[in-house]
Structure 1
Amino acid sequence: MALFFPIILALLASVIGGLYLLGMFRKRRSDEPPLDKGTIPWLGYALDFRKSTSNFLQKMHKKHGDIFTVQIAGYYFTFVMDPLSFGPIIKESKANLDFEEFARELVSRVFGYQSVTHGHKMLEKSSTKHLMGDGLVVMTQAMMENLQNLMVHNIGSSKGEREWHQDGLFNYSYNVVFRAGYLALYGNEPAKNKGKEKAKEFDRTHSDELFYEFRKYDQLFPRLAYSVLPPKDKIEAERLKRLFWNMLSVKKTLQKENISGWIGEQHQQRAEQGMPEHMQDRFMFFAPVGISG
């Protein structure tokens, strides 16, 4: 009996230590936002969050106010529901709030991309060069040309009539802006391959197919980011990631014309750093988010 007593104590200490590392004993401090761990140990609100992210956040907002922390599958996440508070939080010094480690983990999980040393600085410098000032003028012109292709190609016919389509305002705007932005960044089908009109038709069809698949991924994104996808949706998310890695690959992008300087420079910089092509393909999927991030 005396022999088993130290073993039992060691096991008990291990269990308590494990629970402590998992945050089971975490309590709200006086200077922290409301903390809600839910009723299920470790799992917390994972099931509610997975079932309906929007409804869950609305419920917590009503219960706790603009800022609150909840436990989801062993992790603690703090949500800020007031958009006017984002600026001061983002500007907080790294000594108090550092997003880099979480950002690297999130980008790896959601896009399969492993960032390189000084990757964020390269992204910021290139974005300033190509998406502001004179560079923005070039991008705006490309955006307008692609918007024209997407929005007015079906106005007019052999009989001089106009074709009208009915759609929801948000879905239509989302569709057109997404597709025009994609074409402005990643380039157009070369006219020399199919002729000018056929190339424009290809851009319309291809960008619409990409948008359709992206909407699927967009709907999975919140639960994928917080690692609460059910098995079926995990498989679908993985399929979509591989699809985008292929559709937006460096090889396919470099075959197009009118590629933005931003995309071209990002590829060149990462190639010079020795990044393998398959990882560059993953960056091409992450790239548009990197602009806003």
Structure 2
Amino acid sequence: MATTLLLFLLLIGFLALLWLRFGRSRREDEPPLDKGLIPWLGHALEFGKDAAKFLTRMKRKHGDIFTVRVAGQYITVLLDPNSYDAVLYDTVSFDSSRKKEALMKKIFSVVLPSFNPDKERAWLEHHFKGDCLDELRVSMDTHLRALLLADQRDLGTAEWREEGLFDLCYSLLFRAGYMAFFTRDDNTDAVYKQFRNFDKLLPKLARPNLSGAEKKSATSSQETLWQLLCPTGPQGGRDSSFWQESYLKYLGEEGVDAETQSRALLMQLWTTQCNAGPAAFWLLGHLLRQPEAMKAVRTEVRGVMQEPSLRHSPLEQLLTHKTPVFDSVLRETLRLTAAAFIFREVVAGKRLRLSSGQEYCLRKGDKVCLFPFVSPQMDPEIHQEPESFKYKRFLNDDMSEKQSFYKGGRRMAYYNMPWGAGGNSCVGEQFAISTLKTFVFTVLSHLELKMCEPTDTLPLVNPQRYGFGMLQPSGDLQIRYRFKRNR
């Protein structure tokens, strides 16, 4: 025992000497440096366990900019929204593709031979605009109503069903989205089952800190999904504007082999389908918890869905009618639950000037991280009582959208960033908004929803999901629902 203890102390002493000898020191013109107490590892454990809590603590300690060591890397975190443009629009000093390529390989086992983010974004923009966007909207609406009609036939109009709200939202939106993007309905349930398992393990895949059993489970779901997503027949049977066929054609023109194409399909499936279900859960959950907000949204639903029927599409009415209350509810929901990181790599020494006038030098090879969830979205100087859901937060008294928010007497250019900004902005924003609106209005038109226990609160967020888009709950909210009569 004494020998073991002595060896342990010698090891700690050796690591401490290495830390003192080779550890990085802050230069006078650099942001505050916080390396943590553990050599090399630094703050990796805190960052992975609850990034929002950790970065909020660092902000209180160091201010709006600081550098932390995370598993051997040095990450400069910028939390001044009025300074974000200095990073987002500088494509000379900062690179966004290297981090994305690393995550593609680590999470999805995808290595593209000639990855060109600009070309990929142009392809995506084509499919989320104009006629292609209209086509996706119609397909999504059609499949959603078909799923509800099938559920109605199974359930009838008198029987109450109990289910978790998260499971209900995720299942309906994923299956409708899968059929809309992949134009298949022969294996939807199998894909959904494997996808949910893969999605649960994805944050651990990214870090990575999977146990042996979790790694085996994630690998099994990955491999099964690659097979399930693989096209069943020759391409070209549909118009190239259909999403899956167009994507495979794009990959083929880039020299991507068939195996990598299947893996890339899983990556795009996750990208397009991982956020809608969680967003709908939080939105409906907040409405169920706040009767006043639910009443206001239902009033708009009745104004738009005047003759609701699952056999007739409400899409045209939804796209043309103004719904300021719903729009504010959606913005508030996303403010509370959209929590993606925006990463850049410093590829050339950069002198960064903040909105305060202060300047800091950033080292080549370091990473820069913007985290809009902490600031501006949860900044109490910008949003009063930021942890509370206030459905009118983004409404003026005349029911127009409120766009004036201030910090320190200065109007904020960015006061809510669920869709990112600049070259990092979400290409599918308009499709996502119309999807959520269609889903919520359709559900509230055709279903009676109640919480099983009126005193239930919304579950806490899963803190490991910070950085991966929409937050997910650590549990579920049990609800009862049935179809309304004469629908």
Report if aligned partners of 2:107, 2:206 keep a CA contact under 8 Å in 1.
yes
Match of 2:252 among 256, 271, 274: 271
- Deviation of the 1:278 alpha carbon: 0.4
- Confirm or deny that 1:245 pairs with 2:226: yes
TM-score (norm 2): 0.45
Tell me the equivalent position of 1:9. Answer: none
Residues of 1 paired with 2:138 and 2:28: CA distance?
A: 53
Q: Secondary structure at the match of 1:61?
A: helix
C-alpha distance 166-88 of structure 1, shift in aligned 2 (>3 A): farther
Tell me the equivalent position of 1:225. Answer: 206
Residues of 1 paired with 2:224 and 2:245: CA distance?
A: 21
Tell me the equivalent position of 1:4. Answer: none
Residues of 2 paired with 1:210 and 1:280: CA distance?
A: 17
Match of 2:169 among 163, 170, 173: 173
Residues of 1 paired with 2:27 and 2:158: CA distance?
A: 64
Report if aligned partners of 1:186, 1:259 keep a CA contact under 8 Å in 2.
no
C-alpha distance 228-73 of structure 1, shift in aligned 2 (>3 A): farther
Residues of 2 paired with 1:86 and 1:226: CA distance?
A: 28
Tell me the equivalent position of 1:183. Answer: 179
Residues of 1 paired with 2:201 and 2:57: CA distance?
A: 24
Match of 1:58 among 53, 58, 62: 53
Q: Within 5 A, what are the aligned runs for 1:73-222? A: 73-78=71-76, 88=85, 91-117=88-114, 119-156=116-153, 161-189=157-185, 202=186, 206-222=187-203
Number of aligned residue pairs? 255
Tell me the equivalent position of 1:12. Answer: none
- Deviation of the 1:26 alpha carbon: 2.0
C-alpha distance 183-156 of structure 1, shift in aligned 2 (>3 A): closer
Residues of 1 paired with 2:38 and 2:238: CA distance?
A: 54
TM-score (norm 1): 0.70
Q: Secondary structure at the match of 2:163?
A: coil
For 1:58-111, what per-residue CA distance to the aligned partner results, in whole angstroms no more than 9, with x for missing partners? Answer: 1442343466543333233455678x6796366231222211112111111111
Residues of 2 paired with 1:226 and 1:253: CA distance?
A: 37
For 1:159-196, what per-residue CA distance to the aligned partner results, in whole angstroms no more than 9, with x for missing partners? Answer: x644443334344323322221111101123xxxxxxx
Tell me the equivalent position of 1:236. Answer: 217
For 1:134-171, what per-residue CA distance to the aligned partner results, in whole angstroms no more than 9, with x for missing partners? Answer: 1111000100111112223121469x644443334344
Greater shift in the superposed pair: 98-107 or 256-265: 256-265
Q: Secondary structure at the match of 1:153?
A: helix
Residues of 2 paired with 1:116 and 1:290: CA distance?
A: 20
C-alpha distance 24-89 of structure 1, shift in aligned 2 (>3 A): farther
Q: Secondary structure at the match of 1:76?
A: strand
Greater shift in the superposed pair: 94-103 or 65-74: 65-74
For 1:210-260, what per-residue CA distance to the aligned partner results, in whole angstroms no more than 9, with x for missing partners? Answer: 333323322322232223334443333322221221121234796998996
- Confirm or deny that 1:287 pairs with 2:302: no
Report if aligned partners of 2:36, 2:69 keep a CA contact under 8 Å in 1.
yes
- The residue type equivalent to 2:140 in the other structure is M
Tell me the equivalent position of 2:41. Answer: 43
Tell me the equivalent position of 2:70. Answer: 72
Report if aligned partners of 1:175, 1:211 keep a CA contact under 8 Å in 2.
yes
C-alpha distance 157-242 of structure 1, shift in aligned 2 (>3 A): closer
Report if aligned partners of 2:113, 2:255 keep a CA contact under 8 Å in 1.
no
What percentage of residue pairs aligned between the two structures are identical?
Answer: 28
Residues of 2 paired with 1:86 and 1:207: CA distance?
A: 44
Residues of 2 paired with 1:244 and 1:69: CA distance?
A: 39
Q: Secondary structure at the match of 1:42?
A: coil
C-alpha distance 34-211 of structure 1, shift in aligned 2 (>3 A): farther
Residues of 2 paired with 1:232 and 1:81: CA distance?
A: 37
Task: Name the structure with the higher strand share.
Answer: 2
- The residue type equivalent to 1:142 in the other structure is S
Report if aligned partners of 1:37, 1:71 keep a CA contact under 8 Å in 2.
yes
Residues of 2 paired with 1:166 and 1:130: CA distance?
A: 37
Report if aligned partners of 2:43, 2:70 keep a CA contact under 8 Å in 1.
yes
- The residue type equivalent to 1:150 in the other structure is L
Task: Name the structure with the higher helix share.
Answer: 1
Report if aligned partners of 2:46, 2:54 keep a CA contact under 8 Å in 1.
no
For 1:104-146, what per-residue CA distance to the aligned partner results, in whole angstroms no more than 9, with x for missing partners? Answer: 1111111111124254344223222222111111000100111
